[in-house]
Chains A and B, each alone.
Chain A
Amino acid sequence: MEQHYQYLYEMLSQVQGFIYPNELDLQWGLLIVLYPYITGLVAGAFILASLERVFNVKVLKPTYELALLTALAFLLVATMPLVSHLGHPLRAYEILSTPHSTSAMAIFGFVYLWYLMVVLLLEIWFDYRRDMVIWARQEKGFKARIYKILTLGVNDISPKTVKWDDKIGYFITVVGIPSAFLLHGYVGFIFGSIKANPWWSTVMMPVIFLFSAMVSGIALVLFIYMAVSYIRKQKIDMKALDTIAKYLFYILILDFTLEGLDQIHRIYEAEESFEILSLLVHGPLFLTFFIFQIFLGTIIPLIVLGILQFYKPREFTRRVIYLVSSLLVLLGIFFMRWNVVIGGQLFSKSFYGFTDYKIRIAGSEGLLWSMAWIIIPFIILAFLLWLLPPWKKVPAEPA
């Protein structure tokens, strides 16, 4: 018991003003920051891929499969931060077996399943089926067997069947766009619908989450495309890169506008919660909000990418600029999630005080776990690229 008091006093020393007892300790830590972050990367990467397919932006062809596989790699771990956040991870399946219709989180399980099973896996399958059949014939041994299993026994590569691949794949992409919007808009909804929290509760939340998701997903594909080309010692298709960067720029503008709109609305309304929120962003969130999210993550990339729309320096300079801006954007969106998730819990719902959040290194909620959930998708992606290399796809014979 003495020990307990000791901890309590230690924690109380981190508190400012008045807070309710249950606000002392943040229930949602770093792992819950990762959840919208990773889900957003998935949705963003997918939307970039569908640009090529549905809106027929041909220059993006070199990144189409890469974006899809990136989306898959990240989608596979998207729920893992949530599961490892649970006190009883082995009970995670209960959200699917006994979902409550009024629980926003419970329905996410199905949104996720829909997106994984019906959209992403199917789209990749239809896109690669013909190649897998061909690869299964070319390769030997174990790898050939994997391809055989992956084709699910549909080995017909007559032009008619391949045509069907294309048609159904297109249809799935069309269904996939609203699904990707749903997936990430939904994550925003989970926060936006918490009416007790003035930092979260805004109808803009799903839209803001969606656009920041697109921004981060596009930045991720931009980064991965450059990294993969560098590792494979392949020449980067500068047209594709310039186009991705252009989209990144446009959507970043939209995202920034929406977030600005939300904040202006909040400032002008100045509800009773405004004072504490203003103290929040100028105090505990100053570094992560103004410096990381807005300045480094938004303003700098906006200016730099904006200049590139008018003035094109040498290829190498452009590549460096894209690399740096994509990393800055990824950092900025991470801290946007941080400011939402952590920021929303730092202030007391009495509006009279603040608690504090310190990241632990080890432990289930700690830094090491979180880094693992960021690194694992890259390992999965490396595996997927080995298994389904987009650059080895056999071009279809002209009909």
Chain B
Amino acid sequence: MPPQLKTLIPLFAIFIFLFLLGRYLLVPESFGEQGHYRFNSVAENKDLSLQYAGRDACAECHDDKALEMESDMHAGLSCEICHGPGMVHYDNPKAGQLIIPDQREHCGLCHATNLTRVDKIAQVDLADHNPDQKCIECHNPHLPWEIAE
């Protein structure tokens, strides 16, 4: 055998051994137990706190708002799509900071002119539709057709 190979073959064997050793040490515990992932992560994710409470949870206290909403075009919306995640608020109403989205752009996220959704949602041109006032000065956000003049 040529002397080069006498050196290289053991070196490659060592390299492969080190690779396998490293792999053995680095693969985390519970990996592959139930599939190609770390099974312990399931339990870890279960322990994470919830962010969203859901509309029914809001209705437990704000039943007036929930009822109001049901009677108008925003009936299909969830409270938290406008007010942001509310789990903390649900647990302790005094502590949780919720968003009060009173800017025109907020309504525009759904209602601004967008040619690809004309038939999906009522649209207004933000630059054109009563541009000097906030939307909620006229529209009640929970009852959008209750127009305050």
Residues of A participating in the B interface, judged by any CB pair closer than 8 Å: 1, 5, 9, 17-18, 93-94, 96-98, 100, 117, 122, 126, 129, 152-154, 156, 161, 164-165, 168, 350, 352-353
Contacts and interface: CB of A to CB of B under 8 A. Distances in A.
A232 to B, nearest CB: 31
12 contacts: A17-B115, A93-B22, A97-B23, A97-B26, A97-B27, A117-B12, A122-B8, A152-B11, A154-B3, A156-B3, A168-B4, A350-B116
Nearest to A102: B36
Interface in B5-41: 5, 7-8, 11-12, 15, 19, 22-23, 26-27, 31-32, 36
Contact of A97 (B5, B22, B99): B22
A154 B4 contact: yes
Interface residues of B, number: 26
A98 B32 CA distance: 9
A18 B4 contact: no
Q: Is the interface of B mostly helix, strand, loop or mixed?
A: helix
B109 to A, nearest CB: 8
Nearest to B1: A164
Contacts of A18: 114, 116-117
B70 to A, nearest CB: 27
B144 interface: no
Interface of B: 2-5, 7-8, 11-12, 15, 19, 22-23, 26-27, 31-32, 36, 84, 99, 103, 105-106, 114-117
A352 B117 CA distance: 11
Contacts of A93: 22, 26
Contacts of A152: 7-8, 11
Contacts of B19: 96
Contacts of A117: 12, 15
A132 to B, nearest CB: 12
Contacts of A164: 2-4
B116 A17 contact: yes
A129 B5 CA distance: 13
Given A18-B114, A152-B7, A152-B8, 10 more contacts: A1-B84, A96-B19, A96-B23, A100-B36, A126-B4, A154-B3, A161-B3, A168-B2, A168-B4, A168-B5
